[in-house]
Structures are given as C-alpha cells and as structure tokens.
Chains A and B, each alone.
Chain A
Amino acid sequence: MANYFTENSDILFHFERLNLKEIVDFLEDDYSQSSSYPDAPINYDDAKENYRKVLEIVGDLSANFIAPRAASIDEEGATLENGKVIYAKGTQESLDILSQAELMGMILPRKYNGLNFPTTLYMMAVEIISRAEASLMNIFGLQDIAKTLEKFATEEQKEKYLPGFSSGKYTGAMALTEPDAGSDLQAVKLSAYQDETGKWFLRGVKRFITNGNGDVLLVLARTEAGTKDARGLSMFACLSDETIKIRRIEHKLGIHGSPTCEMQFNDTPAELVGARRFGLLKYVLYLMYRARVGIGAQSLGISQQAYEEALKYAKAREQFGKSIYNLPVIANMLIDMRVTLESNRSLFYATSVWLDRKEIYEDMIERLKAEKKPTNEVNEKLKEAIKISNLLTPLTKLILSEASNKITYDSLQIHGGTGYMKEFPIERLVRDARITNIYEGTSQLQVVAAAGGVINDVLEDYFNAWERKDYKGSIIKLKETLIEIRSIFKDALKYVKEKKDSNFQDVASKDLVELYSYIYTGYLLLDEANENQNKLFTAKRYILDSLAKAKKNAESIKNELYSDILYADSILI
C-alpha cells in the first residue's frame, strides 16, 4: 500500500539523520514518563521508533485516505449555510479519521492526552498531510494554537481547552486579522472590555480568519482603550458560542477545504491569556513563528506532490516518438524541481530543529528557576537559539513558499495544455500553492523579518566552522564555491552598509537574504553529500546554481539597479 512516509526516500533520509536527543530527553523528563504512560518511550531510540511508527500512520492515511479525497474537497469546498460553516465532506472525513488515529494533539503533553512529540516530528506530519490535501493542513496545523495555550495559559484554562484538541473534538482558530489590520497587526481594533465583576467580553470584527468556525478561538484584542499600538493589545481565548456570527466565508483561488471567515464578536465572553498588553508582542509572535514554519511544511508538501505529478506525467507522455522525460529540456526542468525540493527540505528540517531547541531551552529555564537552580548555561543556549530561529523561520517561509509556486508552475508547464485543464491535479496544486507566500506574512514581510539577522551576519560562526571542516573528494570543490558565494555576500553587504541609505537597504534586503540562504542551505547539503553519495548531485547543482544567482544578486545591488526608485512617479505612469 502506498505510504507518503515510508515511500518518500528523502523524508526518510532526514528522519534517520535527525538528532533530537537533547530535545527528547527533556520532553520525556529523562524517560521517567514511561512509568506512568504505556505509550511513553523508555529511551531515545525507543522514542524514535515511536515517531517512526506514528509517521507511518500519517503516511498511510495521507496516501490512501486523504489524497483520494483532495479533488472533491477542492470542488466542493467549505460552505456557509444559515450562518454555520460546513466542511467539504472529504475534509470532515479526513479530520474524523485523524482524530480516531489520535493525531490531533501531537505536540501536547500526555497529561492532556497529547503525544508529547517534538515540533520537528509534528512538522513532518504537516508536510505529509499537506502533500495529500493542502487545505487540510490549515485545520490539522491549528495544533499550534493548542501549543500556544499550553505555553502561556493557566492550568485551569489548559484543562478546559487542551484535551478537546487532542481528541479532535475541538478545532481552533487564531483571530488576528481585521479589515484594517493585516500585515500591520498593531492596528487591531476589536475591543475587549470588562464588566464590574472583572469578566472580559469581546466586541468587533475579524476578517480572513482561517477556520473561524473553530471551537477554541485565540483572539487578539485591544484592552487599553485609546491606545493605537501593539502595547494596547492582549490575547484572549474563548469557546465559540452564539454571540459570534460568521458573516461570510471567502471564495478563494485555492485551499478550498479551509474556510476563511469574517466574524463578528457581539459581547463574546472570553478569558485573558497570559499578561495584559503582551498579546501581540509575546503570544502572537510565538504563535506566528510556529505558524510560519507550518506554512513552510505546507509549501514543501505541495511541492512534493507537484514534483510527483510532473515526473509521472513526463514519463507517461509520448511526443516525437519517445516519452518527454527523455527530452533533455524536460529532464533538466525535473532535476531543477527535485534539487529545489530536496534543498528546501534540508533547510526546513534544520529550521524546525532550531525551533524545537528554542522552545526546549525556554522550558528548561522555567524548570530550573522553579527548582531554584542556576540558569546561566541554558540562558546562553537560548540566546543563541532565539537568534538563529529568528533568522531561519522567516527565511525558510520565504524560500519554501516561493519555491512551491515555482515548482507547481514548472510542473504545470511540463503537463503542457493538459495541465491547464481541470482533469489533472496540477492546476489545483498551482492554486493551492499561491497562498503560501502571502499568508502568515507575505514574502516581502519575511524579507524584513530575516534582514536583521542577515545584516548582522548571525550565522558567521557556523559558516566559519564549515569553512574549516574537511570534506571528501569532489565536495572540496563545492566548498570552495560556497566560500566564493560567501565573499560575494560579504562584499554586497559591505556595499549596502556603507551606503547608509535605509530605503536602499530595504530594497536590497531581498538580495542579501537570498544570498545568505544559498550559503546556509549549501553547507547543509555539503554535509549531507559528505555522508551520502546520492546527495552529491543535489549539492552540486544547488551550489553551482546558487553561484550564478549570487552574482546576479550582488550585481543588482552594486550596479545601483534600484536607484530609480527615487523616480518611481515618473516611471509608473
């Protein structure tokens, strides 16, 4: 039987390589949980075996249950009937079976009936499910909301909300966006007020809310009347009730299974989560970081399927007396797709592990503080993990979502006219991919988020270490190419810094961020090629291609390509 986990050699490659020991040791309280929970592992190897077994279920259900429903989910879509959102039949069936398989609380502690998995393994599941049906991810991936509550809510709130997530009884929604507050969430207006007993109520409108019909809502609201910035915003949790009206759901280009709601809160009772005034600055930021990695996984899943469709079609389609797979131009496109896919996956799982580290160090510090033990050592590790994941998260979201657009585009191209027709799944994948570089922060915003880390060269020590490392055979040559790309980067960065022009820097950031991604991803692939001969082709094409692109990026900056922005009004007639 088909299985999207066990039959995907590249995911398996990454699964085998994952080294999460430090993370899992902590998550499992040094495996003491195994004395109270029969599903808890007894050591790291056992944990890994658990992860493998559970991903096998995800891979099986994705390939054999969810994927066959993708076309009908797309066609039917979620609908709004009498103010109630109805999922497409296939969406509901898929959610039901994922709930039955106990996969809806993967990252929650066992105490709340979760599986207590590290984020990286959950992201692997998200990737696999997205491949089967991209928009199902938008609901499956809402486990991050539960995780946010687990991190910041009171014990009482956790007891109230979390077990329902694990059982699949509850789905969630994060209600942040408003008509006038999209990328700029500081402008959120929905107001939260207290009655004389101190109870909170929400009043206002939210728009573009994925799964706004969910049962547990995390709502960003203005608690400090009269304020206009982020410091007046707080985070609330509430169970959906009759005070919330779904006014409409959007008709979208893609991800039809995911209902995108406009919601009106009419004095909805809600509970404050965490501290007042930290809604956006702390909790939403935490949630958004996880959600962005989630969109990376979604992009990767769509890319994988688009690649599979292209490969299958190219082999089957005969023109000029042979299958088009044998035409060099097509083979070249397919190799490009495959190399992009694999390099994306390397970047993705590296990022995901950093996110895991960051969260584990935070929890470690909490625990050490509670035990009144010194935290200095972990503080240092946390500082590092924050610095790195603050760079890698937006960088990965940027690169992977743009790539999923490119890969689906090329896959449709390989299908030719057939691909433009509804009969083949590729047109759906093209439409589904299109949102990935828009929501959870557009690509342009991801550049802004990543630029700081790039300009401060936060990976400098890692790059230095890689440059000192010994590699085998032909890999040495590739290392030299990466050293060259790095010097191109440094050169371009120096140029931007010396110019001391913030407008110029804003526009040039895209090139700088891309340059930086070539170096980081390039070294990841170099390490993989050093271990596994099969990865040599991937590393080679990726790195040589990156050199060509790097030169272009640098030329754009140094030739003042963007200086005409000053004359925008004269050009944009």
Chain B
Amino acid sequence: MSFNSIVMVKQVPDTANISGQVMKEDGTVNRAKLPAIFNHEDRASLELALQIKDRFGGKVTVITMGPPRASDILRECLYMGADEAYLISDRKFAGADTLATSYVLSEAIKFIGNYDFIFAGRQAIDGDTAQVGPQTAEKLRIPQVTYVEEIIDVSETSVKLKRKIDGGFEILESQLPCLVTVLKDALFPRPFKARRVMAYKNAKTLLELEKITEGNSLLYIDQLKDEYFNKGWYIHTLTMEDLKLDETRCGVHGSPTKVHKVESVVLAGGSHEMIPPSKEGLSKLIDHLMEDHILG
C-alpha cells in the first residue's frame, strides 16, 4: 500500500521583511522589491506528504504556478525529499486571481495524474485567501478537508484526519483521492538534507536550461534537457500550450477579482485610561471592550 501525493507550493514575498516600495499603485505587490520565500504552510504540507511517503511509500510530486524564479522553491522541495517537480509558468498566467490559478493548477494536476492526495498549505501569506486549495478540489471533483493538523490513518481507499475548528478539533474520514490543506503550526518541516542539496543544487527548469543555451550555439536545448532529465536534475516545465488551456480562463483575463483600493492602516496607540481594580471598574472595562467589538 503506497500513496502518491501532489503538493501545491507557492513562492511568496517575505512579508516579515517588508521595506521600501512594495505596493504598486494598482494595489498589487511589486514582487521584485521583496525577497521571495517558500510559503510556510506549503512547506508544512510538503512535510505531511513526505511523512506519508516515509510511512507507506509512494511518490511526492510538487507543483507551483509562478514566474521563472519560482524554481527556487522547487529546488528546496527536492532538498527536503520531493521526488519530482513541476513549474507551471507562462506570461499569460500573470495577474491571476484564485479562480484562474485554481483552473491552471487543476489542469496541471490532471496532466500529471496518478495521485491519492493533493496537499496544499491552508493559505499563502501574500493573499491570505485560503481559496486556491478548495477551488482546485472543486475543479477536480474530489473531496477536500481544510485546516488539517494531522493524518491519523490511511487505508487503501480512505483517510482519517484531524482538522482544526473553532475551539477544538474534529476527526473526519474522507475517500481517496482527496485534497488536504494544512496548517503551518501542525508540523515542523524537515530541514534540507545535505546530500540531497548537493545532488539537486543543479536542478533546472526548461527556462533555466534555455538561458544556458542562449549564449552557446553548440548546445542544443533538447540534448541538454535529456542530459538533465537523465541525471534527475530536470524540473518539468509546463506552459499554457503544454496544458492546452483556455486562454480566456487564464491570468488576468480569467480573473474576475479586481483590487478596488489598498489602504495602509497604521495601528497606533491613542490615549489611555486608568481603570480601578473594583467591580465598577471591571464592568466599565467590559462595556468599553464591547463598544469596540473586542468582546461580544
């Protein structure tokens, strides 16, 4: 009994280290101005997939939709233990909202096929929508379990999971295949493994290989691709054309969501008030908190 997993990962701006002009006028993020990192919850979801592989065997494939430099996190997935990686990249994917993104990802997953689990982080720290996972499941017409903390057991046809809910948790059982979104605090992702880092540091996407051949007329891209593939260094690269996608459903054309306005909210302390440690003081405090909608 072994299980194949596909893990959806995303490279996100490092919002913990924001500086300078990171927001563009149209309200989207100027990614070039921010260091890019592996979305924490996606890394946790990869950890869960790898734990299933450790326990039962099978294959872990990672996919990301993003610009060419998103290959960085795919290499990091290989360093952690992923078997195969796919970069889904096309200029026509730019400006995608969750609807367009989940369309592309679900089609890529159909293209790769042969899976028991789809894993994703609960949400990415750039958009915080938590929609791509669920929408992908809908498009694949498979069950989804969100906010997962733990996989309790797996049988050949079903999985039992622990899911966080307000004030506690619930234990659910789902048929396989299913899509699972994972909370970052549930799992501590394994570190990069030294030997895998050395073995996969040269792993490249098709776009990166093309760059190598650009300046060298003696190198043919197909040969180079074969060479990298044979060494296990090839990061599969899929474009809109490879996936035979409907262009009107991709990128900015396929995205009904438009950012209306972005506001910078500065949270600053105002005045303060001494409340005496008495019964009256306490009820006054509660009144204040209710007025501010902190309580109630």
| Chain A interfacial positions (CB closer than 8 Å to B) | 1, 38-41, 49-50, 53-54, 57, 60-61, 65, 97, 100-103, 115
Contact = CB atoms under 8 A, between A and B. Distances in A.
Interface in B176-235: 190-199, 201, 231-232
Nearest to A101: B191
Contacts of A1: 37
Contacts of B197: 50, 53-54, 57
A331 to B, nearest CB: 29
Interface residues of B, number: 14
Given A39-B195, A57-B192, A103-B194, A50 B232 contact: no
Contacts of B199: 38-39
A60 B189 CA distance: 14
Contacts of A39: 194-196, 198-199
Nearest to B193: A102
B194 A38 contact: no
A49 B194 CA distance: 12
Contacts, number: 46
The 7 closest A-B CB pairs, nearest first, are A39-B198, A38-B199, A101-B191, A102-B194, A39-B195, A50-B198, A39-B199
Contacts of B194: 39, 54, 57, 101-103, 115
A57 B232 contact: no
Given A39-B198, A97-B191, 17 more contacts: A38-B199, A39-B196, A41-B198, A50-B198, A53-B201, A54-B194, A54-B197, A57-B191, A57-B197, A100-B193, A101-B191, A101-B192, A102-B193, A102-B194, A103-B194, A115-B194, A115-B195
A38 B196 CA distance: 8
From B190, B195, B196, B231, residue with most partner A Cβ within 10 Å: B195
A101 B193 contact: yes
B198 A54 contact: yes
B233 to A, nearest CB: 9
A1 B191 CA distance: 14
A100 B191 contact: yes
Contact of B190 (A41, A49, A100, A115): A100
Contacts of A103: 194
A97 B194 CA distance: 12
Contacts of A41: 198
B37 to A, nearest CB: 8
With a 10 A CB-CB cut-off, give which of B37, B194, B198 has the most chain A CB atoms.
Answer: B194
Contacts of B196: 39, 102
Nearest to A99: B191
Contact of B198 (A53, A60, A97): A53
A20 to B, nearest CB: 16
18 contacts: A40-B198, A50-B197, A50-B198, A50-B201, A53-B198, A54-B194, A54-B197, A57-B192, A57-B194, A60-B191, A65-B191, A97-B191, A101-B191, A102-B193, A102-B195, A103-B194, A115-B194, A115-B195
Contacts of A60: 191
A97 B191 CA distance: 7
A101 B197 CA distance: 10
Interface centre among B191, B193, B196, B232 (most CB of A within 10 A): B191
A424 to B, nearest CB: 25
A54 B231 CA distance: 20
B39 to A, nearest CB: 14
A42 to B, nearest CB: 10
A65 B192 CA distance: 13
